[in-house]
Structure 1
């Protein structure tokens, strides 16, 4: 429902609530007014010749008063005030109860002989009172007021002798209705102003709470990143200092280099997870929903993590339900890369926190036809309160997380990703026994799964490129204005066996692409003189084969930047910070796209630590 419609409905409900509250506050006065009028009714009725009928009329009046008293007390109860539908029905019921009572008074008056005229006038006065007390709420005024006035007017027109009195009664009731409508209009205007004020106050309070949560989130983000960056960079700096030969130290050992590499990788993981979490928090994180082979993905992750498990003396096993394995068709319907991110985080946590025992990955179909993947471990386990805290952003359980790295964002981001894909991430745990995290995803039993190009083969090992198609040595032009980024990208490309030429800005890249032959161009998205999209468009406008050279856009992670580069003609998009896997995959995709004879218009292929979709 659009926000403006929701706001209008909320205002209408608030106006109705205030009208019912006002009418409820008048009902005790209505009881008092009818109680004060009872002696006049008894005095006039005492002149009626039919004593039995008069006694019955008094009994009906007393019964109506008693039931009305019960309804008034019901309406004043706080637990009944919130249900507007029930309150509306009770108000209408209470009003119609009095309309019946007034109608029987008029009927009794019609046969009361000498007391006929005063009793009919009393019934008209009672109808006017009912109209007054129903004026705050328009439905009650129109329904109850009209029903109450019908009885006295009908019996007044029953005798030609009372036509003058009947016309006077018509005027009195019409005037009462007109005044009641005016009062209702004025009250409704005040109710609307009060409702708008309530909405503004509520909206301001919501915005204040949101701003406070955002400020707290930024504070937690800054504190977490400061701690993780300081620790990671300190370790790397110590090793680099040793490698540079400062303070007379010997060259760093292999163990020191591996420790520095682990620290750098942990730091990159924290930064990437934080970026994804902040993007998700801002509502700008998109996911795809396509069929893919989740079992193959899970198997790849288990194979990749077995060396880590073996190093800790843990058993890492995979169990797939036989009924699920026997299916000839069927596939999970979600974003394969995001599912891989979730499962990698769950497996990584299980191996990180489990000291002894085993970690098991299980897959099965649920009773409602969804794919369930469980990661169970024999780690320290979590209490119920700790398990709830584990899914909160920037929250790490001190009892189990001492001495381990991380920003405390993995589980919260994983749950958010699962829900974006139409799934759910839940968990149960017991202290001293272990934990089990369960990811449920939509499953289409008629779909055909496709292997995600980012999934590594079983022969892949951690840190190695995902075996793309073998490529010959390429001549690669990189356009990057940042010297450090250019050095990192050049080192990765040369590590893959290619030759590199570096252009310091977009204008220089276009000039070089126009006079030299390159097999691939890697263009930064944001550069001085000529930015990435403009440079790509200029290269595509060149004459001859130079306009068709494969282009990989290297961006900082902005989705708009990625769309601009693809619209300008990029074949693939690579997100910073780059890795060997990501660069190899991006080069393979761009070259493969260039080799297709009738390839479709360029679509967004984003490779890197995290994906953004157009």
Structure 2
């Protein structure tokens, strides 16, 4: 906490007092310097009418005052969070320190009475010391009204007692009065400064608290959105797989197939909206992590464009690809996943909003350290203000997007992703002629192009014989789906609804693998639960003559993956694909 931050419970007068005491503590080093500077002049003036013994006694008095001051100094340390009690303690101690100096000046001033003409000079020097005390008392009004008069009294009395009718006495008295008046004016300005400083600090703290609350709310919103998006996406993928399973069993009658395919298309659309919204929030909050590296941009373009041919054919559009001659060196730099995401969005927009004509994807030769990829369409085109609004989040152009669903985030997200890769997304458009959208990526002329997108990374797995799989599921619908999937892969399937029933069936014949699809397991952090599961697994394995039995488990998330792996169970995360299940059984 800042040294200027008083407790909120203090009144305005106490806040001013706290700031004044702090200011006075900060002036203490200057007070020491002022004393050190004035000490030689004091000794010089006292030499004219005091004996060396008297001078030594006065200096000893000053030394005692400084000693008392340094004894009290540790207690003058300001509190970070002052209270009324601590403020009163600091007030009394700092007043005592000032009173010691005012009294010592009073004693020194009165000691010159009877010293003749030299006493006038000495009293004038003491008046200068009184001005110093007035200055150092100015931050606190109470000190100025009590200690300043006490310090002024000594020089004024000494001058009036030694030279009562002297003109110099009046001048010094008037000068001290003027110094006190200036001290009061200075105190008034300091009080205004204290109030202003406190208001600024309070505003800053409120702003920081608001920013902290906003950041916390943003993090909570992001966490909530990620959780909801993940859960909704998982559910939609499960529905999509179920529809896919049902589609394979439908007759070739067009009506039911059309309904199922429409439902699957809408699911893909919803999944795309969820992904785009989540990516937009991550990019805007700075939480997105990219992996920029040399790209096989030509292969990536071919791969993405191939996925849109069916969409273009369905609308009767010509989808063409124009690429420059291949080069041996040089590559665009970017995150392959995000570049594919940007290109996919630009292509989807171009095909979706172009009623007739063509859509062309063009890769231009590198220039000025950039590589440009363009998507050109013969669609309705946009006015200048419409093109500007098209890049704003949640903005949709009514003239061209009527009848089409969407969140209005794609172009804004594409621009943010390009900027994160130190690139740029831009556009040109002419109404009734068409539009051209492009992405500029950094280009490294010395980089090596990686292997083409879509090149096989591993050998195609050899076909395996059909396996005998024990399926354990307590959900009849899920059981039917998995049984169909397993049999579609060429495996034979036994089904059990409980663990004891599974052990009983396994004891009657050989099985090659076990697939557990009962959802989340019991709390495996509990020793008792983990021991019971371990014992059941041992009984299940003991029913087979083979040394090892492959046991798979379908899990809704990865929280129990580690303890299950420790028990010899291979976890598979939902929603599982047919290919993932095939690979898992192949590995057995």
Q: TM-score, normalised by structure 1?
A: 0.47
Larger Rg: 2
TM-score by length of 2: 0.49
